[in-house]
Amino acid sequence: MPAIAIIGAQWGDEGKGKATDLLGSSVDYVVKFNGGNNAGHTVVIPQPDGSTEKFALHLLPSGILTPGCTPVIGNGVVVDLGVLFEEIEGLEARGIDTSDLKLSANAHVIASYNRELDKVTERFLGARRIGTTGRGIGPTYADKMNRIGIRVQDLFDESILRGKVEGALELKNQILTKVYNRRGFTVDAIVEELLSYAERVRPYVCDTALLLHEALLAEKTVLLEAGQATLLDVDHGTYPFVTSSSATAGGASTGSGIAPARLTQIVGIVKAYTTRVGEGPFPTELDGGPEDPAGHGEFLRKQGHEYGTTTGRPRRCGWYDSVVARYAARVNGVTDFVLTKLDVLTGLEQVPICVAYDVDGVRHDEMPVSQSDFHHATPVYEYLPGWWEDISGARTFEELPAAARAYVERCEELSGSRISVIGVGPGRHETVVRHPLI
């Protein structure tokens, strides 16, 4: 009864989608347990004619692409119903069967007023903005915590739904009109919008926690796929520059209803360098300024195609940060790392690894507890020799050039858990397996 969680070890976009797809054929259920359509997971699938097909998933778990694997949206997710059906229709049009999808009755629903509030709050914050995806994620989780949220099950009882929308709008309309000088929403319009999805969504809705419990009792394999990542986790991330959900291993349990002790393996996905979208501290960032005279930030962005899957924003890029990786290993209990995008580092004279931080003259080997210290942290680098060979064809560790192997081994020594799989390209097959994950 393995229950394996896939967790982002940095600030997102590490390649969780590819890792999920890689394991897809060995698992029976793939569960999304946190976040919503702020996520963007790209999966590149080889076709029988030798070409590849690319899929970008936001709300549906990446496992939906694997025939025979049941995709589940857990209670910890916030669901934009419009996006859900757009994504379902888009996949069906490409020949993917989505009829097996299961959706938790307890998942919260993103209402139009929360999308609007996300955008206007960001504008209002100005220089203090978070750089959110503008999808209504934060306000919807805030409603959940404030106990004024709308859940999927509320769609099936109109009078309950109306009462809840009335309660929420009493507050929201005051804020929208009086603080932000925007137009409010009518109860009728919101109720009508949400009810319009009720009958379409009904066949998917069930008690997903019970379903997964029974699956584990029946010795099925369950994969829990995180959105976002450790440093974006609302508790363990670089608060307030975080998302509003629990993206770490603990969230895999609360967001799915699978008891913590049932999680058997925690796979941390970590890029061979680092990226971040949105605002917030990022010690190893290469911003093209005087401290990046060689333009390595732009090199990584170009080589790695580092543009957001969800918003298209250019991702901020920097070197591998082993302090962050060690922190992720600790907070999540990472049993195995998947090191992705090693191929992107090909062609560098030297490859720096951040081994610690210097904070106002003091060395920190662990993440500083104070956010102000983290903002001041400058990386202490170790420089490893680079390699020039094309590594995308490597399928075993021995096939990698010696310098690339030495880089991986040093990352492993510094990062607190073994590196079991290495990504050498976006395709499913462009992978080096050192220790099989399942």
Please pick, from the candidates 24, 36, 40, 61, the single residue that binds Mg ion as defined by CB under 5 A.
40
Please pick, from the candidates 204, 319, 425, 432, the single residue that binds ligand GDP as defined by CB under 6 A.
425
Binding residues among 300-329 for ligand IMO as defined by CB under 6 A: 309
Please pick, from the candidates 2, 26, 44, 184, the single residue that binds ligand GDP as defined by CB under 6 A.
44
Binding residues among 63-92 for ligand GDP as defined by CB under 6 A: none
Q: Where are the alpha helices (DSSP H) in 25-110?
A: 81-93
Angstrom distance (rounded) from CA 313 to CA 131: 10
Angstrom distance (rounded) from CA 232 to CA 244: 8
**Which distant-in-sequence residues (6+ apart) come within 8 Å of 54 by Cβ?**
42, 43, 44, 45
Q: Which is nearer to ligand GDP, 133 or 417 (CB)?
A: 133
Please pick, from the candidates 341, 357, 404, 412, the single residue that binds ligand GDP as defined by CB under 6 A.
341
Is there a catalytic annotation at residue 41?
yes
Please pick, from the candidates 264, 309, 311, 392, the single residue that binds Mg ion as defined by CB under 5 A.
309
Query: Which one of 13, 21, 154, 233 is the catalytic residue?
Result: 13
The first and second tokens of residue 144, run together, are 């959940």
Please pick, from the candidates 4, 6, 10, 13, the single residue that binds Mg ion as defined by CB under 5 A.
13
| 424: partner contacted, choices ligand IMO, ligand GDP, Mg ion, none (Cβ within 5-8 A by kind) | ligand GDP
Q: Which is nearer to ligand IMO, 38 or 75 (CB)?
A: 38
The first and second tokens of residue 365, run together, are 């080997």
For residue 243, the minimal CB distance to Mg ion (Å) is 12
Query: Which one of 41, 58, 108, 296 is the catalytic residue?
Result: 41
Instruction: Please give the residue whose beta carbon sits closest to ligand GDP in the complex.
Output: 423
Give the count of residues interacting with ligand GDP (CB under 6 A): 21
Under the binding rule (CB under 6 A), the answer on residue 343 touching ligand GDP is: yes
Please pick, from the candidates 111, 423, 432, 437, the single residue that binds ligand GDP as defined by CB under 6 A.
423
Angstrom distance (rounded) from CA 357 to CA 146: 38
Angstrom distance (rounded) from CA 355 to CA 364: 9
Q: Which is nearer to ligand IMO, 243 or 415 (CB)?
A: 243
The first and second tokens of residue 24, run together, are 């897809």
The first and second tokens of residue 378, run together, are 């400058």
Please pick, from the candidates 168, 222, 249, 277, the single residue that binds ligand IMO as defined by CB under 6 A.
277
The H-or-E segment that residue 103 falls in is strand 102-104
The H-or-E segment that residue 406 falls in is helix 402-415
Spatial contact of 234 and 243, defined as CB atoms under 8 Å apart: yes
Please pick, from the candidates 108, 135, 213, 301, the single residue that binds ligand IMO as defined by CB under 6 A.
135
**Which distant-in-sequence residues (6+ apart) come within 8 Å of 348 by Cβ?**
296, 299, 386
**Which distant-in-sequence residues (6+ apart) come within 8 Å of 410 by Cβ?**
353, 382, 384
Question: Position of tokens 């195609």?
Answer: 305
| 74: partner contacted, choices ligand IMO, Mg ion, ligand GDP, none (Cβ within 5-8 A by kind) | none
Binding residues among 377-406 for ligand GDP as defined by CB under 6 A: none
Q: Residues 271, 272, 276, 277: what is their CA dihedral angle, to the nearest 10 degrees?
A: -60
Angstrom distance (rounded) from CA 368 to CA 388: 36
Is there a catalytic annotation at residue 305?
no
| Residues forming beta bridges with residue 154, ordered by sequence position | none
Q: How far is CA 394 from CA 337, 339, 410, in A?
A: 18, 14, 19
| Residues forming beta bridges with residue 285, ordered by sequence position | 318
Binding mask 241-280 for Mg ion (x = CB under 5 A): ----------------------------------------
For residue 308, the minimal CB distance to ligand IMO (Å) is 7
Strand 274-276 relative to strand 316-318, pairing = antiparallel
Under the binding rule (CB under 6 A), the answer on residue 133 touching ligand IMO is: yes
| 343: partner contacted, choices ligand GDP, Mg ion, ligand IMO, none (Cβ within 5-8 A by kind) | ligand GDP
Helix and strand tally (H, E) in the chain?
13, 20
Q: Where are the alpha helices (DSSP H) in 341-390?
A: 371-376
Under the binding rule (CB under 5 A), the answer on residue 352 touching Mg ion is: no
Under the binding rule (CB under 6 A), the answer on residue 38 touching ligand IMO is: yes
Catalytic residues: 13, 41
Interface residues toward ligand IMO, by CB under 6 A: 8, 12-13, 38-41, 130-133, 135, 137-138, 227-229, 232, 243-244, 277-278, 309
Interface residues toward Mg ion, by CB under 5 A: 13, 40, 309
Interface residues toward ligand GDP, by CB under 6 A: 8, 12-18, 40-42, 44, 309, 340-341, 343-344, 423-426
